[in-house]
Every structure is written in C-alpha cells, then in structure tokens.
Structure 1
C-alpha cells in the first residue's frame, strides 16, 4: 500500500463553512487505504470557534488540516475581476489552489465544499493524469453551446458547439504543470477580456483556457444531487444546499449529508431558512458593487 500523502484543497467563507464539516467527515470515514491526507482550507473569513471545532472531528495522525488566508494565496500580480453574479468571491479561490500546496506536491484534488465523498478518495487520487493538467467531470450543460451555462462566445474563440464543458467543483490537478502553463493568469485574463460573456464565474474562464485540454472523469466522481444514482462516489449539491429548508434535490443525499454532520460538533444542526440564502446572495452582489466602485 502506498503511504504517500493525498493533497486536498477546499475554500469557504464563514457562511458555508458548516459544509466543510460534513465533507471532511465523509472523506475521513470512507478513506480505507494508508495514505495520509493533507486537507488544505482556504479561509475567507471562517471564525476561530469554527476552526477549533472542525479540527476536533478527525484523527490528526491520519488527516492534517492546514489553514490559509484567502488574501495571502493570490499572487501579487493578479487582480480578480469583479463580475455581476451572486457568486461569492471565494468561488475564485479554486483558480489559485495550486499555490496553496507544498512545492514538491505533484497532484492535488480541489473540491467544492458543497460535496460529500461516498467512496475512498484515494481512488480519485490515483486516476492517472498522463500529460493532462486537469481532470474533471462534464457539467450539467454538457457542451459549450449551453445557453444558461456554457461559453456564449465559443464560436468567436474558435470552438465547435459540441466542445465538452466541465464542472469546476471537482478537479484533479497537476499543480506544477498548472503553474508552468500560467493557468491562473490565463483564467483571470479570460474573465476580464470576455467579461460580458462570463457565466458561472471562474468556471467560464477555466473552460475557455482548458477547452479540449482536460481529461474527462467518470461522472460518479462529480454526481449532481438532483440526479438518481445508487452508488455515486462523490455527491455535489449544485443547487440549494442541504443546510437550507428549501433544499430541492434528492432526499437520499440530504440524509447522507446529515449522517456525516451528526458525527461532528454540529450534530444538532437544523436546516435554516431559505430566506438567509437569498439575503446572502444580495450581500454578495452589494459587496461586488462596492468593490467595483
């Protein structure tokens, strides 16, 4: 059995930080092989009390939690463009995940915090990347010509309508190739240059830069919670998160989320009003408006 270290990166603000608890516990329970896990958290305002409780839910001899302030990982020469969406700026942190891990690390797994892992994470870790910089699963919209979530200017960029489009919530990355190829800078440039076409925040930029240059993962490693599957390896709550009482995806996945959460200090957590979700979206838009000013 390999005793190498699996490097995982997530990012969150305090609003969605509770999702990390269920995700981390799901990884912990389902990881059966001998690899140690370095669990890197890009902290965009997570409270000290939350951090302390989160560190209590895993055996630190098996999983090491490493914290990084979001403001410290973006290279000084890069400025994140501000869009008009309700996505928090935290969403852009995945673009800089290769700058979080140690220089000698040759692979990392980036996960959105609105996921739970139902299989041994080492199986995803051991997917061979070959000469690819990134592996990902195809998005709900499938191809770049998707009206609500693709690349609206795909033809202008020289892409065919059937070019596959990936979801950026689960990424297997070669960080050395990523940095050598300047992927972070290219994604940010794409978001700035094509600003009027940007949909789904940084996912647009990643698909523009990596079009036809990514390895396709088995969809079970990024299974969307509104679809049925008897045995997904990773569930992604793309729509309303299970922490809200307005959750509208498959109930079985919500049950799984709360099964993991019940094994953490948040075992008595009850779903909160969907109104808070809308308030947060409004807050994100206002925050971006002020940043533009």
Structure 2
C-alpha cells in the first residue's frame, strides 16, 4: 500500500482535489493507495466532493486538526503568509497507523504526472527523509536558503531542499522527534525564518537528507516535458493573475475537469491578496500578544 499525506484548509480544497485526481489518473502499477488528508477546516460539502474521487484501490482518510496537533503545540510567529497548515507535514508520521513505515507528503499546490509508485519505490539508503533541491539550491543563497547559515555553522554550499514533496521514514522521524527539533530551531532563530518550517527542516536535516530526481518537485515557472510532479510555487493556477508556464496551467485544468469542480471559474487576484493579508495580520497580532 502506498501512503500519501497532504494538508489543506478550506481555501485550497480545490487544489487538493486536483492533486489527488492527478495521482489517481497516472497510477498504473496497481498498488492500493491511501491518502491521509490532514484537514484544517475543510467544509462538509468539500469533503464530500473530495470523497467522490476514491475508487476500489484508493482510499481517503480524514485526519482533523485535533487528531494531528499535540496538545499545547505552538507555532513560531514568523513574518510569512504561510498558514499553520504548512506545519502539518511534520506531524504526518505521528498520525498514520503504526503499520505505515514510509509515507509521501505532497503540498496541495502540485500535480503529479507520473506513476507515484516510482517515487514510492525510491531506495532511501538509510535516510530519514528524501527531497528535491530547491530553486535556491544551497543554504547560502542570498534570496532563499538559510539566512543565518554562517551563525549556525552550516556551509554556504550545503544543499537546500524544497519541503513541498517529502519521502519520509516514519519510524525514524518519530524516533528523532523531528517536529520538536524543527520548532525549537525556528523559535531560537525567528528573525531569520523565511519560508516557515522549510527553514527549520533544512537546518535540522543539513547534510542528512537524500537528494532525489528533481523532476519529482519541478517548479511551474520553468517548463520541462519530463516533469513528474509540477509544483505551482508562485500564484496558483486557479487565479486570473497566474504567471507561471501556461502549458503547466493547462495540465492543472486537465485534472480539474475530472473533479466535481470542473466548472469552476477563475478567481480574482484580490481574493488571493486578502487571504494572504489576513494570515500576516493574524500572526502579527499573536506575536504582539506574546510580547505584551
């Protein structure tokens, strides 16, 4: 059985459905698939729509927030517009059944074009986690990477990964208590945190992660015919202001047409900007309360 986790709030339920459908459409090798959906407030109507995508060999199991987050867990209040849902990936190995030894995590702003079994069968070579190198490539990247890499004793040329797709050894992840380590690193270096938990994960896993085929996390601004998993890092394909590769946008809508959202109209950019502003304001307010 192939175990896949994804996390979403209600704003990105459509993206989650497209991701799930793309995996199902391109899975030709026959293994059963279980999607463990880390649910941060998906509406009942949207859950029902997503459930229609399940088939005989495809299950969707819902894991609501109260089952995902340990009691009292607090996320660092950085200055990004990333929602708390982005942190859920760290807790996925604690949510799946003990029989699940390995899992694939996908951000929901992705489309999978190849058989996911290829990724699932990756030889982890004893690593706790496998990923794809990010656009910025290295820790010392001036516009990305780890801003305080020198202070942390990390080499400037240390490979830096994008956390949108992770292949995780669940037993090792739990044994090492990765969430606790990542959250502590972020709290201790909050002024340097740039991409939410991606910062903390890269600090914790520096020199200890397996680098795999970049086509399994290929960024949508750079077209390539051999991309196996497209990552819409910038403005998502559902918005009128989408500015990445048009062929990859068409790929997204091909799978969207196979979901209950097939007649969806493109969204205005205003709704996207308002959503991001709300997240930032909420974080600033929490940080203010914390210091006063």
The aligned counterpart of 1:165 is: 160
Report whether the alignment pairs 1:7 with 2:3.
yes
The aligned counterpart of 1:123 is: 118
Residue of 226, 236, 247 corresponding to 1:252: 247
In the alignment, the residues of structure 1 paired with residue 99 and residue 77 of structure 2 have an alpha-carbon distance, to the nearest angstrom, of 32
The aligned counterpart of 1:220 is: 215
Q: CA deviation at 1:134?
A: 0.4
Residue of 108, 111, 126 corresponding to 2:106: 111
> Which secondary structure state, in structure 1, belongs to the residue aligned with residue 12 of structure 2?
coil
The aligned counterpart of 1:51 is: 47
Q: CA deviation at 1:77?
A: 5.7
In the alignment, the residues of structure 1 paired with residue 284 and residue 41 of structure 2 have an alpha-carbon distance, to the nearest angstrom, of 19
The aligned counterpart of 1:276 is: 271
1:1-293 → structure 2 map (5 Å cutoff): 5-59=1-55, 61-76=56-71, 78-292=73-287, 293=289
Over the aligned positions, Cα root-mean-square deviation in angstroms equals: 1.0
Q: CA deviation at 1:57?
A: 2.2
8 Å Cα contact 1:136/1:214 also seen in 2: yes
In the alignment, the residues of structure 1 paired with residue 72 and residue 12 of structure 2 have an alpha-carbon distance, to the nearest angstrom, of 28
8 Å Cα contact 1:245/1:271 also seen in 2: yes
> Which secondary structure state, in structure 2, belongs to the residue aligned with residue 281 of structure 1?
helix
Q: In the TM superposition, what whole-angstrom CA distance separates every residue of 1:138-172 from its partner, at most 9, and x where no partner exists?
A: 00000011122211111111111100100000000
TM-score by length of 1: 0.96
TM-score by length of 2: 0.96
- How many matched pairs? 288
Q: CA deviation at 1:46?
A: 0.7
In the alignment, the residues of structure 1 paired with residue 66 and residue 190 of structure 2 have an alpha-carbon distance, to the nearest angstrom, of 23
8 Å Cα contact 1:25/1:58 also seen in 2: no
Q: CA deviation at 1:79?
A: 2.3
In the alignment, the residues of structure 2 paired with residue 183 and residue 195 of structure 1 have an alpha-carbon distance, to the nearest angstrom, of 18
Runs of at least 4 residues off by over 4 Å: none
Identify unmatched segments of 5+ residues in structure 2. none
